Amino acid sequence: MAAETPLCDFGWKAPDFELPGVDGKTYSLGDVKGPNGLLVMFICNHCPYVKAVADRIVRDVEALKPYGIGAVAISANDAEHYPEDSFDNMKAFAAENGFTFPYLYDETQQVARAYDAVCTPDFFGFNKDLGLQYRGRLDESGKAPAGPDVRRDLFEAMKQVAETGEGPKQQTASIGCSIKWKAA
């Protein structure tokens, strides 16, 4: 089921976390923050929206590094009911897609709930003070192939955050598959 993210709550502070990564290390917010900001991405392995943009996510994360933006991806989906999203499959997905950033597993879903994550992909762009400045889409293509002239909303927004500390006032919501929550 497709879901859309809410509008950006400017200045909202990033909740800390401590989660295992597919590389065998455990990461916290401070471990992944860049000097000028942080991009937190909620993704998963099975979502067609994520699969369609994985290469563009890697491209944009790499392009943001020189601007001092750190990045982390987190999967919180219920792997019992969606086995493609298991931790072992996360390792394979990260390797297949050439992830250059930590890919973490939120098995309890507490971090996804703390961030009020809605869909995959769901992008949270924070400034150097970890105040939210971007909660929008990667680009206008959704899960379609992106043409050469597609505006890179996420990249442009996070570049602006790195340079000014503030994100764009006009943002377009991200769309993707709803997070697969565990039964209460």
Domain boundaries, the chain: 2-178
- What percentage of the chain has pLDDT greater than the value 90? 88
Token pair recorded at residue 159: 């570049």
**What's the CA gap between 116 and 6, in Å, rounded?**
9
State the CATH class of domain 2-178: alpha beta
pLDDT in tens, 63-99: 999 999 999 999 999 999 999 999 999 999 999 999 9
Burial of 117 (0-12, 13-18, 19+ CB in 10 A): buried
pLDDT in tens, 17-60: 999 999 999 999 999 999 999 999 999 999 999 999 999 999 99
Contact 179, 117 (CB under 8 A): yes
| Model pLDDT, residue 2 | 64
Token pair recorded at residue 12: 């909202």
